Amino acid sequence: MLEADFVIVGSGSAGSALAYRLSEDGKHSVIVLEFGGTDIGPLIQMPSALSYPMNMATYDWGFSSEPEPHLNNRRLATPRGKVLGGSSSINGMVYVRGHARDYDHWAEVGATGWAYADVLPYFKRMETAHGGEAGWRGTDGPMHIQRGSRTNPLYNAFIEAGRQAGFETTDDYNGSKGEGFGPMEQTIHQGRRWSTANAYLRPAMRRGNVRVVRGLARRVLFENQRAVGVEFEAQKRIQAVHAKREVILAASSINSPKLLMLSGIGPADHLREHGIAVLADRPGVGANLQDHMELYIQQEARDTATLHDVLDPISKARIGAEWLLFKTGLGATNHFEAAAFVRSAPGVDYPDIQYHFLPAAISYDGKATAGVAGFQAHVGPMRSKSRGSVTLRSPDPREKPVIRFNYMSHPDDWREFRHAIRLTREIFSQSAFDPFRGKEISPGSHVQTDDELDDFIRNHAESAYHPCGTCRMGAASDPPAVVDPECRVIGVEGLRVADSSIFPRVTYGNLNGPSIMTGEKASDHILGRQPLPRSNQEPWINPRWQESDR
């Protein structure tokens, strides 16, 4: 019989970190159940190839939203990694910890022990930061974090334009100062994508007490309200893996709530509707779904400093060959090398707008280019009040769940998005861009009024691929909470969830970093260890936050 002390479902950002830490002292055995296959090969390992794996059925679960009523009934792609390393193997390799205030908010709404002072030591434990603010960054952790070379002059033009517009600059948004324009950080190491498969899972597997089992998790197995294993399908056979101590779901904010519901944990009426016996009535399972949305604001470039000239097949082949031989050149970056985190209005105490800057005019999935030399900013509000859900389509584990984000369902979202577009135009109009700026490609200078901007948003806003919140962490006495502050599923024993689904509210920026931290911190709770000592470092908050947006 397949058996281990701990059974982890999912080898992604949190799951791989859990496997590494739970096996570290050599006392415990770990089985990681992963449906996807190998991450070996240039399409995943070459950073600049990032648009390929997220569009490939081999590596991606292929989820999409239901028609979104506020976005002209568009179905939006919801990529999730189906491969060793999970979404850390198909993401954009952008590294953002999240703002200190994000975690303080978590603690305020019931995630006791997850304030910034509590989580900062775990971020330090997981990092080896190549650059960044001394004293605020980790120096010997499994996750290598680097900055891009920013040799393209457009990156520095973007940062300088932000400064000219009156905004702060920061040399390390993952350090004490999380507000301003500055270099963007990447999970890239020695020219390769530094996924959690590379950072955590492979070193863990070399210990001999960790193994990966391939299969589709169907449900958690219980005896008298206690999780004892996982039923899974592999080679067209239904099998089981037994957990001597605990089962941990780290299957994503889409698949973790789905597995809970298939196992009888979730909103009782919904489970009964699908003929599933109710083990624990938890109405919060699948609720509280959140995401970041973004738009591409694109500008023609008069200078040839963009990536447009290297998008032809011959240039791509040359870039690929250099990467294969030396792990250097344009293939060794994700091209996200400048960033900004800014506040939308006076009275907002920490940034709620994020920018990724790119010296090309191209869609994130690589499918559509503007056809001309250009540059773009990905911009969007970071704390939308809209909430959605993940529910079962049927009791068949092979069926994709029903994903409803309810994007743009809160009126504040529209006001915030319009502001973000106008702010981007203001930044692109600064003198730093004078040598480069051509005409506006998208939305186009003819799009000016609120109604015109709303129409553009409705037709072009995309997911930034940061879904979270569907197994919310909170006090055990809180009915909508799914897990307690030690990641234990409320109402049963021997089962935890540790991934982005437990986030009470989406953090600012990209979610790979916070998801890895979740796996790191959860491992100490699972092993019954004293959490790392709290930090006494105080983050910078803009002293003008009440009077000004900059």
Does residue 369 carry a pLDDT above 80? no
Output the CA torsion 340→346→350→356 (10° steps).
-20
Specify the residue for token string 């399908």: 233
DSSP state of 429: T
Does residue 305 carry a pLDDT above 90? no
Amino acid making up residue 476: A
Q: What digits encode the pLDDT tens for the residues 482-527?
A: 999 999 999 999 999 999 999 999 999 999 999 999 999 999 999 9
| Non-local CB neighbours of 27 within 8 Å, separated by 6+ positions | none
Does residue 538 carry a pLDDT above 90? yes
SS3 per-residue string spanning 527-549? CCCCCCCCCCCCCCCCCCCCCCC
CA distances from 437 to 176, 299, 375, 429 (A): 33, 7, 9, 8
What number is the average pLDDT over the span 163-185? 98
What confidence score (pLDDT) does residue 499 get?
98
What confidence score (pLDDT) does residue 307 get?
82
What number is the average pLDDT over the span 522-547? 98
CA distances from 448 to 162, 418, 434 (A): 22, 10, 22
What confidence score (pLDDT) does residue 368 get?
64
pLDDT bin (cut points 50, 70, 90) of residue 366 is low
Q: What are phi and psi of 436, to 5 degrees?
A: -115, -25
What confidence score (pLDDT) does residue 497 get?
99
Distance of CA 291 to the CA centre of its chain: 9
Which amino acids are annotated as binding site, given as ranges?
5-34
Does residue 364 carry a pLDDT above 90? no
Q: What digits encode the pLDDT tens for the residues 433-483?
A: 999 999 999 999 999 999 999 999 999 999 999 999 999 999 999 999 999
Which amino acids are annotated as binding site for FAD, given as ranges?
5-34
Domain boundaries, the chain: 149-183+293-381+408-460
Strand partners, 222: 227
Does residue 243 carry a pLDDT above 80? yes
C-beta separation of 467 from 515 below 8 A: no
Task: Determine which one of 189, 308, 466, 525 is catalytic.
Answer: 466
d(CA 464, CA 420): 15
Strand partners, 297: 377
What average pLDDT does the structure give for the chain?
97
Architecture of domain 149-183+293-381+408-460: 2-Layer Sandwich (3.30)
Q: What digits encode the pLDDT tens for the residues 378-423?
A: 999 999 999 999 999 999 999 999 999 999 999 999 999 999 999 9
What confidence score (pLDDT) does residue 94 get?
98
Output the CA torsion 511→4→526→387 (10° steps).
40
466 is catalytic: yes
What confidence score (pLDDT) does residue 11 get?
98
What number is the average pLDDT over the span 167-187? 98
Its pTM surpasses 0.85: yes
What confidence score (pLDDT) does residue 92 get?
97
| Non-local CB neighbours of 305 within 8 Å, separated by 6+ positions | 152, 153, 154, 359, 436
Does residue 104 carry a pLDDT above 90? yes
Does residue 370 carry a pLDDT above 90? no
Indicate the helix (H) or strand (E) that contains 296.
strand 293-301
What number is the average pLDDT over the span 157-178? 98
Does residue 180 carry a pLDDT above 70? yes
Output the CA torsion 366→11→192→524 (10° steps).
130
Phi/psi zone of residue 286: left (φ > 0), alpha (ψ -120 to 50 degrees), beta?
left
Phi/psi zone of residue 408: left (φ > 0), alpha (ψ -120 to 50 degrees), beta?
left
What number is the average pLDDT over the span 360-367? 74
Strand partners, 437: 301
d(CA 315, CA 321): 10
Helix (H), strand (E) counts: the chain: 13, 25
What confidence score (pLDDT) does residue 346 get?
98
Specify the residue for token string 């390992």: 45
Q: What digits encode the pLDDT tens for the residues 22-80?
A: 999 999 999 999 999 999 999 999 999 999 999 999 999 999 999 999 999 999 999 99
| Percentage of the chain exceeding pLDDT 70 | 99
